[in-house]
Amino acid sequence: MARKTKEQIERDEQLYQLIALVAGSFSLQEVLDKLAEAAVKITGVKACSIRLLDEDAGELKMRSTYGLSEEYRNKGVVTKDDVVIKAAFAGKAVVLDDMRVDGRVKYQEATIKEGLVSQLTVAMRFRSRPIGVLRLYSPRPKHFDEDDIALARAVSSQCAVAITNARNYAKAIEGSRIAEQMRLAGVIQRRMIPTKVPLMPGLDIAAAYRPCFEIGGDLYGFFQLNEHCIAVDIADVIGKGIPAAIMMSSFRAAVRAYIDSAVNTVQAHSGTMDYTRTLKEVIGKLNKMTCGECEDGEFVSLFHCAIDVKDMTITYCNCGHEPTVLIRDGAVMNLEKGGLVLGVDEHAEYEIETIPLRDGDCLLFYTDGLIDASDFEGQLWGRERMVETAKKFTSGSAEQMVKNILRYRRRFVGLAEQIDDTSIIVVKVDRTAEPEFMKEVSF
């Protein structure tokens, strides 16, 4: 058995290193640079270049070289319509014996300046699709023979697999990074949803949030206006994922800022808050802010109200949101006055309405995810079922109503996957119910 020469042993070692690149977890650029160097050392040529196909631009971008100057790297554009590239993509190994006089060479002057004479171009393919070309250069004419071509094809084949693996690895890393961002955004969003409801004499309040995805667009909050009045808002930012979470965070901060500003203004003048005027100002500012923040197709629906247990009134504005339901003695009233969703028209006008309250009244706030939940056959749970369920539990606590509404809905939809978040708030009015554990709570 013939013994291998030192040159053959070194070549085999280089081929082994090339195969190791295929199985390695490297960045794409790192793989390309290692491939270009390995190709030169394996084939014994002067230089190598690797161009990858950009399908959108129709060009082959220079991504890595070994043994070539920066000036030559940036000599100009090479398209997939280039005669050499077309032949290589058709399966040929294209040999240019003397680039100095070959009419197929587009940049002859740069080639002569670089000291290159002969060139071998082979396509890199993955699953029969060309992804780029491997080019080898020699300072001698007629350098490449059949053995060189066979070796170049073997190298280009390994290159194609290594490049594809590197791209897939990069996608996996990016996917993992995005997943982590989504998880953190979800944590931030859930921290913006109140974990406890406020305690106020005369009101029994309960709420629940059920996210559909890692992060969503639902939002609700409570703001104490004075010792006998509380603001309640519930909103739905149209959009999912990180943009919705960012918009929701900005919107929540704006709501709090505008309400605090209104309260501070009243306190500074030692006056009585005019809820109609205050809500109108707050809604107007929110709409202008949202118009400036939302992209095309994005908007926010909002139901915002002030509940006064001293005057026994609710003053509200419905900005394109699901109408809050007022249940009184078995009868149902929909709180619909307001206007457009926020973020569509900064000059939109909004109507404010004030309604008297009575002891025993029950207010049900919700987002569309509650009623749009569907079973496996696509049938929606619907608003009618929600209202009928709520009416069954008006005699119990707000917490009992929230839990039973969600329980009845879950029974209806079963294990069917849902596509929207669910938020629900129940406020029951009863000035005679002041539990002993009632205490001051910060909002």
In a domain, 442, yes or no: no
**Structure tokens of 117?**
């004479």
Give every CB contact of residue 172 below 8 A, 6+ residues apart in sequence: none
Q: Is the separation of the CB atoms in 228 and 310 below 8 Å?
A: yes
**Structure tokens of 337?**
């006055």
In a domain, 350, yes or no: yes
Residue 442: strand, helix, or coil: coil
**DSSP states of 170-218:** HHHHHHHHHHHHHHHHHHHHHHHS-SS---BTTEEEEEEEE-SSSS--E
Residues 147, 203 share a domain: no
Q: pLDDT digit string (tens) for 64-120? A: 899 999 999 999 899 999 999 999 999 999 999 999 999 999 999 999 999 999 999
Average pLDDT over residues 35-59: 87
In a domain, 328, yes or no: yes
Look up the pTM and report it.
0.60
| Residue 60 belongs to domain with CATH number | 3.30.450.40
Look up residue 197 and give its amino acid: V
pLDDT of residue 39: 82
Dihedral (Cα; 266, 270, 274, 275), 10-degree rounding = 50
Of 126, 143, 173, the residue at which a domain comes to its end is: 173
Distance of alpha carbon 347 from alpha carbon 25, whole angstroms:
55
Q: 368 pLDDT exceeds 60?
A: yes
In a domain, 182, yes or no: no
Of 144, 173, 202, the residue at which a domain comes to its end is: 173
CA distances from 276 to 280, 313, 316, 318, 351 (A): 6, 11, 8, 13, 9
CA atoms lying within 13 Å on the CB side of residue 76: 10
| Residue 268 belongs to domain with CATH number | 3.60.40.10
% of the chain beyond a pLDDT of 90: 41
In a domain, 438, yes or no: no
* Block residue for tokens 């290594």: 162
The sign of the torsion formed by the CA atoms of 32, 36, 38, 43 equals: positive
Q: What is the DSSP letter of 140?
A: S
E-strand stretches of 13-128: 47-54, 59-66, 94-96, 118-126
